[in-house]
Amino acid sequence: MYSSYSLFKCLVCFYILGIQVLIHSVSSQNLTNAYLHHKCLTRQGKYKPRSPYEENLNYLIDHISKYHFRDGFRHSAGEAPNSGNFVFQCRGDSYGSICGSCYATAVAGLRKRCQRYKGAIIWYDQCFLKVSTINSPPTKMDYENTFSMHNPNNINGDTQLFNQKMKNFLYELALKADKPKADGTGLLYYAAGTKRLGKNKLYAMVQCTLDIFHCKVCLEWSIKELSKCCEGKQGARVLGTSCNVRYELYPFIRT
């Protein structure tokens, strides 16, 4: 009787431990889809219900396919002044149903936070969505619609050395993201990795949208922006509509 009770207690302990490990694993990898930021492009004005612009926008929203949940989506519908331009892309390690779920969340979030604005952008942890009346050429980098976030905690030790090694690693990833795919169909536009920095392990990723010509240029600009906002922080990111960079001292990238 005593041995059976002890065995039962052990099984309960193992069960609780397993749940705790699972929770820690999920949280440490940041497998959530937190809302990050949004911007209503007020200068583009608002559209009226059942207007030509709303019809074009709804067409774009409804005609994204599961194939775009891997590589992203950029498309236009209609003609000026009622043309709608649509850019959607998931994080490089988020695709399939995860990307599809983020897309649905982003559409709902944009409609709620920027109700009836013709131009708007919204960022989530796993994706971003932009709608606009302006069809920007792929040679033009969008340096205006960017923002930064950082961990409130500072690193321990030599801050200057950490900053330099962190930036060097991000530059290495930027070079990888700017290389052609193995099948020759285009550039990778995404790179992620880890690097040991003393007692710490650095996790980082860089990514460009699939429609820009100068991925490396955009990433280098974003890495420099980290120096302005976030030096010495345990984690930080710069996000935009052309590219983004991020580093942390905990795993957040799916493998």
Given a contact cutoff of 8 angstroms between Cβ atoms, the answer to whether 142 and 209 are in contact is: no
Query: What domains are defined for the chain?
Result: 35-132 (3.30.430.20), 147-248 (3.30.430.20)
The pLDDT tens digits along the chain (255 residues) read: 434 444 334 433 433 333 333 333 333 344 678 999 999 999 999 999 999 999 999 999 998 887 788 778 889 999 988 999 999 999 999 988 999 999 999 999 999 999 999 999 999 999 999 999 998 877 788 999 999 999 999 999 899 999 999 999 999 999 999 887 777 666 679 999 999 988 889 999 999 998 888 899 999 999 999 989 999 999 999 999 999 999 999 999 987
- Whole-model pTM: value is 0.84
Q: Whole-angstrom Cα distance, residue 4 to residue 22?
A: 27
First to last CA, the chain: 46
**Which value, to the nearest 10 degrees, does the dihedral of the CA atoms of residues 160, 231, 218, 28 take?**
110
Task: Determine the longest span between alpha carbons in the chain, in angstroms.
Answer: 81
Structure tokens at 110: 């944009």
